[in-house]
Amino acid sequence: MYEDLMYYIWKYKHFNGELRTKDGCALEIIHPGERNPHSGPDFINARIRINQTDWAGNVEMHVRSSDWFRHGHQNDEAFDGIILHIVYEDDASVYRKNGEEIPQFTLKPFVSTAMLYRYQQFMRSRDSIACAGQLHLLDIVKEKLWFPALAAERLAQKKDVLQSLFERTAHSWEDMLYMALARNFGFKVNALPFEMLSRQIPLKQFFRMEHHAVEAVLFGMSGLLPENPEDDYPKALAKEFNFQKKRLNLKAIEKHLWKRTRPSNFPEIRLAQFAALMGSYQGLFSKIIEAGNIAVVRKFLENDIDTYWDTHYRFDKVSAKKKKNMGDAAINLLIINTILPVLFFYGKRMHQEVYCEQALDLLSQIPPEKNSIIDSFATIGLRADNALESQALLQLKKQYCVPKKCLQCRIGHELLQ
């Protein structure tokens, strides 16, 4: 038996038969109480009835009643007022300091063996999704009703990071979005240097520059401009950056901070795309909160980069001709991982749930992500039809399946029924 399962059975009153205490008294659970997250009794403010006498107070649980002594509760005043001791196996009686025996309830005779067996299957499963072999027993359409709540959980998890940015930008929503976008333009691999750039170049500086100057400052500050460029385009950028560097007292970050990835994600290409966004950025946050559908939001991120990059991935190195504007997949990831978490955070911060709902609605308008986690759920019959559902599945896997929190999972809860 697992204590977590005992908590679950008590909380949801999953018992078989008429309950009785150790000494044969009729037991009725009026209210199981609230789970205590701190030290002390497991449930507080419970209400029970023993032989027509009502009791209100705290409840303690152990797999074996002798655990009471093993945990030293007999010497702890916090446990002297326990109204009921719940155990799975009875191997001892427990008493208050005044010698009075504490009422004890043994779960074992009243617990469904099928529930216990299924939970043991969950805990012993070596599958990455513990309930994979039992998912076919459920109505998947019904279980998907939980997905908006899971997606909202995932959006809310970015609260601490966004709160930190919000404080750092003196409560400027536009500046916070700018810094969040900069970090995510690096797509994990180059998140750090992108974030460093956004910290060193205030957003308002870009509003005062022509597009060519924005490119020059970003490339110059990145440290990626060649010292002696050969092509006219980087030569012009270097000349402009030298001017802006003196005017704004700028200092480039270390070139070695940038990591090489596959060509389409080269830092030069991402910086060119970011520069294009900065050229039309002004008022972006305000535009987003007013957007009614995902096509409008996506339009804000679709910007043409300089034609130089059609034949280059790096400065002074010619490549086969190919348009390097941001693709739909990259734009979708920016919306999912940056735009919508910021919108959701704004709704929570301003106590306007309409924006939280808007973030979830926009999420549902985006195609589902493609990765190994989404694929693993699809193989067992749980397919994502949009990004809200794929985000929900990522939350389900990372926050419930991996730590095996089956008792807090709606799917696990349904299967245990």
Helix 353-363 / helix 147-156 crossing angle, nearest 10 deg: 110
Q: Report the distance separating Cα 34 and Cα 308, nearest Å.
A: 64
Q: Read off the pLDDT of residues 192-215 as tens digits, 9 standing for 90 and up.
A: 999 999 999 888 888 888 989 999
Phi-psi region of 143 (alpha: psi -120 to 50; beta: other; left: phi over 0): alpha
Residue 292 has pLDDT above 90, yes or no: no
Q: Read off the pLDDT of residues 73-95 as tens digits, 9 standing for 90 and up.
A: 888 888 888 999 999 999 999 98
Q: Read off the pLDDT of residues 158-171 as tens digits, 9 standing for 90 and up.
A: 999 999 999 999 99
Q: Would you state the structure tokens that stand for residue 200, as one six-digit string?
A: 């060193």
> What is the residue type of 295?
A
> What is the residue type of 350?
M
Q: Place 331 in a pLDDT band, splitting at 50, 70 and 90.
A: very high
Q: Report the distance separating Cα 29 and Cα 375, nearest Å.
A: 44
Per-residue model confidence (pLDDT) at position 95: 87
Contacts of 268 (CB under 8 A, 6+ apart): 219, 224, 309, 312, 313, 314, 315
Q: Report the distance separating Cα 292 and Cα 75, nearest Å.
A: 62
Phi, psi (5° rounding) for residue 239? -65, -45
* Rounded CA Rg of the chain: 29
Dihedral sign, Cα of residue 65, residue 69, residue 71, residue 77 = positive
Q: Read off the pLDDT of residues 233-272 as tens digits, 9 standing for 90 and up.
A: 999 999 999 999 999 999 999 999 999 888 888 999 999 9
Identify which of 40, 113, 103 has the alpha carbon closest to the alpha carbon of residue 76.
40
Per-residue model confidence (pLDDT) at position 99: 81
Residue 180 has pLDDT above 90, yes or no: yes
CA distances from 263 to 171, 310, 319 (A): 37, 12, 10
Per-residue model confidence (pLDDT) at position 138: 83
Per-residue model confidence (pLDDT) at position 140: 81
Dihedral sign, Cα of residue 235, residue 324, residue 339, residue 196 = negative
Q: Read off the pLDDT of residues 378-407 as tens digits, 9 standing for 90 and up.
A: 999 899 999 999 999 999 999 999 999 999
Residue 141 has pLDDT above 80, yes or no: no
Q: What is the mean pLDDT of the chain?
A: 92
Cβ(343)–Cβ(289) below 8 Å: yes
Q: Place 354 in a pLDDT band, splitting at 50, 70 and 90.
A: very high
Q: Report the distance separating Cα 21 and Cα 28, nearest Å.
A: 10
Per-residue model confidence (pLDDT) at position 112: 87
Per-residue model confidence (pLDDT) at position 207: 86
Residue 46 has pLDDT above 80, yes or no: yes
Per-residue model confidence (pLDDT) at position 282: 84
Per-residue model confidence (pLDDT) at position 53: 93
Q: Read off the pLDDT of residues 51-60 as tens digits, 9 standing for 90 and up.
A: 989 999 999 9
Q: Report the distance separating Cα 90 and Cα 65, nearest Å.
A: 5
